[in-house]
């Protein structure tokens, strides 16, 4: 029987990746009483957590070495592969029985490979990408899409509940990543629509903020419109979610769709526009910067 006592007060957690979202997510674990170990490629981004009581580790493997739960949210699939499957990485260093939770948006195929490698060492792997951006991370109300066994999901649920509100087991390994791809496909088309809508309102001589009061509570309502729309209007293009990471997600989704002989023309157009935005120097801006490409 899987232990289902992963309570914050009795669990040592290694958290790897303390960027825009990870910093807040790790902070919630620390506030809940977890014994927290942290690693980030740029150490300064973990300083606040260390000052609050987390222990710094020099490598992902060092962080994983005596942790009951290892959580990662890093940049790209190649980063996920390196920290989990590389020499001296998480799978090699984590103890038997550890729970490995990758919250990066990554490849479904890679999630299955990590699961296989983990099971061979008596570990439990769960792919658990998130949606909700920097706001959802700060407010601990992320949507968490998980892939893995029911037993493992139930065991780690008390930990996941410290970071999110809508936490759903989608199926076996890789299912969380496939669900995140469905999420990103919907967002890609939505971001084009929100950008075009607000630029249209502006060109029509309307006050975009007033327009939002009407369309933000109607059939057009969405996270992109109601959270990122005001940032577009204000000219705030700081990253809650990086353009470069969204392009990565769209690439994974297109590759996965092609493997299923599925054509996604809306997603193809969104990727084309975001690639143009990145080529013009926007890769480190937030995804709402697509507005600037339309407003010309």
Enzyme catalytic residues: 180
130 in Cβ contact with 103 (< 8 Å): yes
Beta bridge partners of 36: 13
Which H/E stretch holds residue 164? strand 164-171
Helices and strands in the chain, H and E counts: 15, 9
Tell me how far apart the alpha carbons of residues 188 and 204 are, in angstroms, rounded to a whole number.
Answer: 25
Angle subtended by helix axes 108-120 and 77-85, to nearest 10:
10
Tell me how far apart the alpha carbons of residues 178 and 181 are, in angstroms, rounded to a whole number.
Answer: 5
Which H/E stretch holds residue 258? helix 243-259
83 in Cβ contact with 72 (< 8 Å): yes
Tell me how far apart the alpha carbons of residues 25 and 30 are, in angstroms, rounded to a whole number.
Answer: 9
Tell me how far apart the alpha carbons of residues 90 and 100 are, in angstroms, rounded to a whole number.
Answer: 8
Torsion-angle region of residue 246: left (phi > 0), alpha (psi -120 to 50) or beta? alpha
287 in Cβ contact with 241 (< 8 Å): yes
């Amino acid at each position: 029987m899987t232990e289902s006592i992963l309570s914050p007060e009795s669990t040592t957690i290694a958290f790897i990746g303390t960027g825009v979202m990870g910093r807040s997510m790790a902070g919630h674990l620390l506030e809940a009483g977890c014994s927290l170990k942290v690693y980030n490629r740029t150490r300064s981004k973990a300083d606040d957590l260390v000052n609050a009581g987390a222990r710094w580790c020099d490598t992902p493997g060092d962080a994983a070495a005596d942790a009951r739960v290892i959580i990662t949210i890093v940049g790209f699939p190649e980063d996920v592969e390196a920290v989990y499957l590389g020499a001296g990485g998480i799978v090699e260093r984590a103890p038997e029985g550890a729970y490995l939770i990758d919250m990066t948006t990554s490849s479904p195929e890679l999630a299955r490979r990590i699961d296989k490698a983990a099971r061979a060492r008596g570990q439990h792997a769960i792919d658990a990408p998130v949606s909700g951006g920097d706001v959802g991370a700060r407010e601990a109300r992320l949507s968490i899409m998980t892939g893995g066994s029911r037993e493992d999901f139930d065991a780690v649920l008390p930990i996941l509940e410290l970071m999110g509100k809508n936490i759903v087991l989608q199926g076996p390994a890789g299912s969380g990543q496939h669900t995140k791809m469905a999420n990103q496909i919907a967002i890609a088309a939505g971001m084009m629509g929100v950008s075009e809508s607000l630029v249209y309102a502006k060109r029509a001589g309307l006050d975009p903020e007033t327009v939002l009061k009407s369309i933000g509570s109607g059939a057009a309502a969405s996270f992109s419109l109601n959270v990122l729309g005001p940032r577009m209007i204000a000219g705030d293009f700081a990253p809650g979610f990086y353009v470069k990471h969204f392009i990565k997600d769209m690439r994974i989704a297109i590759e996965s769709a092609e493997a299923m002989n599925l054509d996604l023309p809306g997603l193809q157009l969104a990727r084309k526009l975001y690639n143009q935005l990145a080529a013009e120097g926007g890769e480190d801006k937030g995804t709402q910067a697509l507005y600037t490409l339309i407003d010309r």
